[in-house]
């Protein structure tokens, strides 16, 4: 192999930094990873750097907002910055501030612990998971209408407890704390696929019922899995892959009606993420 051209940001590629690339070979944004504890000198405000795909620095600016959770790009190559209070700040590809919107008061009060971007039938979507185990989403950042995804069915639901108490029970781990989740666009609606210690749940945006799929329905009996470490949906939203705590990899259709394979990876190192390639 040989080098086509030097990348000026190659020293910034590390686990201590967050690096996100825009779709279709677009711009690249790099900043300090908010999940990593890194000793810094001077002002403790992260700098966001914007590069072309060939490594040329196009802009940089200091982040003066709240606690960053995630950076991402829209399909129109806009930089999206998510704060833990649910504020979404939007910049153009040259780092010029455009506007912002909020994911709502409940998200603001309970704080975002994880966020994801997805492509919906109407544009670029954003989903956030709060500290009380609830998911909120917008299907299009151009017209951000916030929707709450229905809660995971809990064995405590039939006891007549208030929603606030059920949320606390879930947070403490008795009702099924969300361990892993992803979003799927199918038939002009957004679905959330998530996992907890009780198995897989598929929740449709259009109705409240959640489909529960126990781990025993996906894996052979001798593979006693108890949690999902990572999950990934293919680019065409037709296939899904699950990596389990036992080191087993599951691949099948997005509706879980057909299993392609169940493979033991024999990996010794902990796995952080999996992804599909377009070949």
How many other CB atoms sit within 10 Å of the CB of residue 37? 7
Q: For residue 15, what are the CA distances in angstroms to 31, 33, 135?
A: 11, 8, 27
**pLDDT of residue 39 exceeding 90:** no
Whether 132 is in a domain gets the answer no
Whether 127 is in a domain gets the answer no
Burial group, residue 257, by CB count within 10 angstroms (0-12, 13-18, 19+): exposed
Question: Which domain covers residue 200, as residue numbers?
Answer: 150-278
Whether 90 is in a domain gets the answer no
Question: What pLDDT sits at residue 278?
Answer: 78
**Cross-strand partners of 68:** 83
This prediction has a pTM of 0.86
The Cα 125–Cα 110 span in angstroms is: 21
Question: What pLDDT sits at residue 238?
Answer: 94
- HSE value, Cβ hemisphere, 13 Å, CA-based, for 177: 11
The Cα 43–Cα 112 span in angstroms is: 24
Higher per-residue confidence, 273 vs 88: 88
Higher per-residue confidence, 34 vs 73: 73
Whether 163 is in a domain gets the answer yes
The Cα 163–Cα 152 span in angstroms is: 12
Element (H, E) at 241: strand 239-244
Question: What pLDDT sits at residue 173?
Answer: 46
Residue whose tokens read 């001798």: 222
Phi (first) and psi of residue 165, to 5 degrees: -70, -35
Mean pLDDT for 244-259 is 94
Domains of the chain: total: 1
pLDDT digits (tens, 9 = 90+) for 115-171: 999 999 889 999 999 999 999 999 999 999 999 998 876 654 544 555 555 555 554
The Cα 131–Cα 59 span in angstroms is: 33
**Cross-strand partners of 124:** 119
Q: Write the CB contacts of 47 (distance below 8 Å, at least 6 apart in sequence).
A: 31, 32, 60, 61, 62, 63
pLDDT digits (tens, 9 = 90+) for 66-124: 999 999 999 999 999 999 999 999 999 999 999 999 999 999 999 999 999 999 988 99
Phi (first) and psi of residue 114, to 5 degrees: -155, 150
Whether 171 is in a domain gets the answer yes
Residue whose tokens read 């995630």: 70
Give Rg (Cα) of the chain: 20
Question: What pLDDT sits at residue 178?
Answer: 93
């Amino acid at each position: 192999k040989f080098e086509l051209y030097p990348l000026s940001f190659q020293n910034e590629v590390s686990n201590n930094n967050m690096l996100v690339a825009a779709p279709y070979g677009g711009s690249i944004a790099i900043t300090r990873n908010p999940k990593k504890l890194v000793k810094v000198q001077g002002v403790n405000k992260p700098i966001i750097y914007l590069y072309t795909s060939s490594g040329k620095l196009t802009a940089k600016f200091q982040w003066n907002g709240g606690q960053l959770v995630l950076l991402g790009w829209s399909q129109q190559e806009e930089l999206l910055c998510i704060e833990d209070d649910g504020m979404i700040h939007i910049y153009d590809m040259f780092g010029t501030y455009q506007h912002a919107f909020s994911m709502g008061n409940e998200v603001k009060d309970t704080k975002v612990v994880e966020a994801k971007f997805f492509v919906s039938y109407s544009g670029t979507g954003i989903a956030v998971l709060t500290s009380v185990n609830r998911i909120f989403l917008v299907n299009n950042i151009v017209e951000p209408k916030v929707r709450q995804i229905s809660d995971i069915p809990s064995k405590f639901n039939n006891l007549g407890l208030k929603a606030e108490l059920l949320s606390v029970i879930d947070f403490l781990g008795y009702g099924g704390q969300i361990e892993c989740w992803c979003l799927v666009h199918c038939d002009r609606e957004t679905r959330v696929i998530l996992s907890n210690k009780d198995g897989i749940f598929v929740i449709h945006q259009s109705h409240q019922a959640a489909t529960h799929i126990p781990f025993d329905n996906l894996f052979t009996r001798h593979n006693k899995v108890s949690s999902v470490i990572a999950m990934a949906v293919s680019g065409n939203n037709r296939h899904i892959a699950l990596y389990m705590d036992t080191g087993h990899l599951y691949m099948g259709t997005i509706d879980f009606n057909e299993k392609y394979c169940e493979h033991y990876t024999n990996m010794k190192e902990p796995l952080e993420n999996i992804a599909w390639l377009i070949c």
